[in-house]
Structure 1
């Protein structure tokens, strides 16, 4: 601690206590009170698309951990040290035990504290103080002791403006990418799972746009309709379609062991079943591809356009079909439920290969890939821009916090 810093416990709202959420939430209930969990943290914000709801009578005992808009939330278990500011839409929610609440009555101070926690030295502080006996756990006493640089009013306001502009753009790009992915996912299900164009013809639709679910302009819709039979066969598939196994569409290749000691930092991402776990100076395979969790996080899926290194806890996909099609196909097969090893979660490749899918012909697959490929390129461009913006933010963050960049410099950046 220095004269230029304070602690998080002293910096936050003194009228409320730093706390954590519901210790024993019990069974999920559809009409309960939603709670924030660690998996809701996304970047430096919250993704509320998946929510767990607990019984109101359970939540009622934890009024202390109901977040108010503008409070700071932090992950305390597992992926520790992630932060987000409570948005207005979670008023009335509560928190899981693995999420900490730091109260603030000044949202500018909450943002300042959130950025301070993201400093490398504070992330290191969190890791060093964590209990890692079972899984990483950060306690409230140490949370309150995180050092927070004291901001000058002008520096704070200008610095926050710059940092929030960057974070707002990152969040906008993330949401745009999510929307694009949902569009690709919805189109796949409509074409290849529920057979929407065929069913709409059976229901009497004759207009090309209507048959294609009003997802395409008239000229494009007219070229797509002939790819879909007008009725279903006795097997429940569009006439002329057949069921095939996954092996017929793609190959699940084994990754290769690469210890941390053997890694040389470089331009190629290293993928494990938990996602990117570092970089290496050599690639194992070429992109685009899909990485599939084999050991650990079974069935986890990661898309990469660039060349990469896949370690021995994952498969990586090669195929003669477009990879954007393979990606959405694998998503529908439920590989995440196919754990075959009681001790260490594992995905058996032969079991995965036995999964079946509806095959409607190469022309249909390539038509899907032509449209979705454009969406994927836009999503990938957003993610690449986000990486650049995050690097800029992380470069500026310690300079703002230390005062190296003062008000004049911050205004120039804005």
Structure 2
């Protein structure tokens, strides 16, 4: 049967703590992480671009320490109707940020005198469209600096059914949430594996250095090749011999990969690099396209046909699979030279500099993003990690003595980067393509699960969907 759902003022069931205004002079390269509203994702908090403070500052601000499951709401930011808004965004603190400190322009919420899973229930309740609409109506201020008062937040009447119903909702939506988190963890592992190969081959040059070390020690070319195979595979000589006997095809492929790497280093403007590899401008890898925003005065330019990538769509993402805005076919046709195909690498270059994503279909971006359209599809994965490794360098280039970071297209195109030989890049692409394809498929699964969650959420909270109806649904785990 359908349950009745009471509503209670949010302020009656929670305790709160406003964030602290940490000073920029206190920020360090390591220490205690500080969470700012710019770190918020759709539901959680990104570990990218965190600031840090030392022990002395942290000890003075223990009241703003976060723990897993805390609910945090941004109270200041852009207008809520803006698709890239921050104000009113509601997130849950992940386990990786246990003990972090909360910065200003946000408020932390914790359920008081509730049962163990009520904190999670409240998070689901505050992710409902009703709460979002309430915040939109409550926000005041300019387009770029809207705000929501604590009084307004605490006055919201949240759905608060009986305890057994709250527990059931947590169990139902929690199973979907855990599946989403599992897929996210798998994707993180796949990306880390791909990045580890990148670092070994293109940053530390382990196969090349293994060859040179073997030759310098008086070894033969075969000794150098064996050393490179060990560096690439992580196996010792005995394990490689076993691999040759039991997995001859894999052994042959490993040997062929090792043969692609040179056996000497050379000087370059970037320092020592493998012999025969080059240092070239980014534009040598592909056409550089600076995005553009079609006129907002023409609503017919916007629709659901072509993804329109902006910086908030890039945070914590490997692929640009979902955007807050899309262009219509007419809008995309109005700026055909700004179209970028599948496999392009997008890099944010204004304000929030250094975010990188790969496109999964023909897309457009706004003017804050420069995209590299590779001349060869084998360049895509290499460029993604290469541009990601240049985060600090991109910031240095974009500073220019200005408070607002801005790396124009001309300077971006001239950035000098390492260009390995084509055969090595093609082998890297073939070694990593299955991992990235797996991550992309997992991302689509995450979107499907999120859609299911968002469909169930308002019906469960309102009592329109009965417990017996949900029980008949398949297991989401």
Given the two structures, how large is their TM-score scaled by the length of structure 1?
0.87
Cα 1:140/1:218, change in 2 over 3 Å? farther
Q: Structure 2 regions of 5+ residues with no counterpart?
A: 78-85, 215-223, 241-249, 314-322, 333-338
* Per-residue deviation, 1:254: 3.0
Residue in 1 that maps onto 2:22 = 24
The 1:395–1:232 alpha-carbon spacing in structure 2 relative to 1, beyond 3 Å, is same
Deviation, 1:43, is: 4.1
Partner of 2:327: 280
1:23-81 per-position Cα deviation (integer Å, ceiling 9, x unaligned)? 23551246754333334444433444665332334333434333455443333343233
1:116-265 alignment to 2 at 5 Å?
A: 116-133=125-142, 135-204=145-214, 206-212=226-232, 214=234, 218-235=251-268, 236-260=272-296, 261-265=299-303
Give deviations 1:157-184, integer Å, cap 9, x for gaps: 2221121111111112122222222222
Query: What residue number does 2:8 align with?
Result: 6
Change (3 A) 1:219 1:314: same
CA distance in 1, matches of 2:91, 2:312: 22
Cα gap change, 1:82 to 1:165, in 2 (>3 Å): farther
Note the 1:69-108 alignment, pairs <5 A: 69-78=68-77, 79-86=86-93, 92-105=99-112, 106-108=115-117
What is the root-mean-square deviation in Å for CA atoms of aligned residues?
2.9
Q: For 1:130 and 1:393, how far apart are their aligned partners in 2?
A: 27
| Compared CA separation, residues 357 and 345, structure 1 to 2 (3 A) | closer
1:192 Cα offset (Å): 2.0
Q: Structure 1 residue 352: deviation in Å?
A: 1.6
Structure 1 segments unaligned to the other structure (5+ residues): none
1:80 counterpart SS class: coil
Within 1, Cα distance between the matches of 2:233 and 2:105?
43
Structure 1 pair 348/91, CA: closer, same or farther in 2 (3 Å)?
closer
Residue matched to 1:328 = 385
What is the alpha-carbon distance in structure 2 between the residues aligned to residue 100 and residue 271 of structure 1? 29
**Pairwise CA distance, 1:367:** 0.7
User: Aligned to 1:114, what secondary structure does the other structure show?
Assistant: helix
Give the match for residue 244 of structure 2. Answer: none
Provide the rounded CA distance (Å) in 1 between the counterparts of 2:303 and 2:276.
51
SS class of match (1:240) = coil
SS at match of 2:187: helix
Q: Does the CA contact (< 8 Å) of 1:290 and 1:317 recur in 2?
A: yes
Is the partner of 1:347 in helix, strand or coil? Answer: coil
CA spacing shift, 1:102–1:343, aligned 2, 3 Å: closer
Report the CA distance between 1:294 and its aligned residue.
4.3
Does the CA contact (< 8 Å) of 2:195 and 2:385 recur in 1? yes
TM-score, length basis structure 2: 0.77
Call closer, same or farther: CA 1:24–1:340 in 2, change over 3 Å: closer
**2:416 equivalent to 1:369:** no
Structure 1 range deviating more: 314-323 or 36-45: 36-45
Instruction: Name the CA shift for 1:92/1:256 in 2 (closer, same or farther; >3 Å).
Output: closer
In the TM superposition, residue 234 of structure 1 has moved relative to its aligned partner by 4.4
Number of equivalences: 409
1:340-379 correspondence to structure 2 within 5 Å: 342=402, 345-379=405-439
